Amino acid sequence: MRWTLSEEQVAYQAALRDWLAHVAPSSVVREWLDDGDATGFEQRLLAEGWTGVGIPEHLGGQGGGLLEAALTAEELARAAAPSARWLATALAVPALLGRPDLATGSLEGRPVVLLIPAERLPSRMRPLSLDAAGRVTGSVPRVLAAQGASTYVVVVERDGDRSLRLVAADADGVHLTPRRLLDRSRSVADVTLDSVPSEPLEGDVESVLAEISTLSAVLVSADSLGASERMLELAVDYSKQRHQFGVPIGSFQAVKHAAATILVGVEAARSVVYFAAASVQAQGHEYEMHAAAAKAQVTAEAARAADSALTMHGAIGYTWEHDLQLFYKRAKLDEHLYGDPATWNDVLATALALVPPTT
């Protein structure tokens, strides 16, 4: 099945792609990553309204649904644009439905970030401890976009009961330790809370974390799709330029097969990601399994495509001056971001009904 976008969705995708081509060409992106500071881009993405696409208007967003948000993720990845803050903002929305003021503030430059390890399935987050006075203690490693946040949403536990709490990022007792990723287009930091004051956040913690999990699965899968598309384009272009034995390497059967395999993966991923986004948005039958399948299959295939594209380029593809390395590293991080394929396959297997053997 091939998923077809509406005219409005096609127009939105084209508009964002054109905007990114103007604002974030690869040479400029490389400068941001060299400097380790993408604040200017993040502020412009916010100011021009792209961050709010896919977020309801009553929460300060531009409207649209998860499919539009997935298109945003896809295009940001195609440009290798810094996207940690965008993704962190989008994932925090399910926790803020009872606090539209915080959701709106997050879209106006006061980011709300979930304290969840970047490599862990959100629904399997280990809670921090909460004392009788409402103070939170504990550490969360490798939190996406932890730096620059104004507020943290924390999963806590007291006397066996789990709940959500809000913590001011600049409160006494909050300590951040930045971590450097191989993929510089995303950022993480370890966050330690030492008896930090907090306030309650309404919402069923299990339902919120389950929703954030499916949301992360779709958006990270869409990011992988965008990276794969760009790696395919780069590999094909390079195979036409690079000559061996007096002919382009693209004329070799092995190179043709490698490119065709990546193409098949990209086209399959496109339908899987768009369908999963629409299913989760509609809360359709088995939508959680659709999200799990997208995360498990699309990110794993993108990681394989990265290896194939690098093989087609040779060592030059991994040099800092070549664009391929930007997307290679991005795809490799996406494979493990918010749960690796094995974890999501486990989620999928657990959700499937057991079928008795036939005789």
Domain ranges of the chain: 5-106, 111-203, 204-350
Residues 312/238, Cβ–Cβ less than 8 Å: yes
Q: Catalogue the long-range contacts made by 13-19 (C-beta closer than 8 Å, 24 or more residues apart).
A: 13/71, 13/74, 13/75, 16/50, 16/71, 16/72, 16/75, 17/75, 17/78, 19/48, 19/50
Q: Is the pLDDT of residue 131 over 90?
A: yes
pLDDT number for residue 2:
67
| Distance from the Cα of residue 245 to its chain's centroid | 42
Among 41, 46, 311, smallest CA distance to 184 is for 41
Find the angle CA(268)-CA(271)-CA(277) to the nearest 5 degrees: 135
Question: Residue with structure tokens 């493990």?
Answer: 336
The Cα–Cα gap between 56 and 62 comes to: 6
Distances 67 to 61, 126, 133, 196, 270 between C-alpha atoms, Å: 15, 30, 42, 37, 11
- Check for a shared fold between 111-203 and 204-350: no
Q: Is the pLDDT of residue 331 over 90?
A: yes
Architecture of domain 204-350: Up-down Bundle (1.20)
Average pLDDT over residues 10-33: 95
| pLDDT tens sequence across 260-318 | 888 899 999 999 999 999 999 998 889 999 999 999 999 999 999 999 999 888 888 88
CATH 3.40.1160.10 assigned to domain 111-203? The reply is no
- 5-106: CATH, from 1.10.10.60, 3.30.390.10, 1.10.540.10, 1.10.40.50: 1.10.540.10
Among 332, 88, 138, smallest CA distance to 227 is for 332
Average pLDDT over residues 33-39: 88
User: 239 falls in which pLDDT band (50, 70, 90)?
Assistant: confident
Query: Buried b vs exposed e over 164-174: b needs ≥16 C-beta within 10 Å?
Result: bbbbebeeeeb
Phi, psi of 60 (to 5 degrees): 95, 5
pLDDT number for residue 359:
61
Q: What is the pTM of this model?
A: 0.94
| Residue 134: count of CB within 10 angstroms of its CB | 14
Average pLDDT, the chain: 92
More confident residue, 86 or 125: 86
Crossing angle of helices 253-282/205-241, nearest 10°?
160
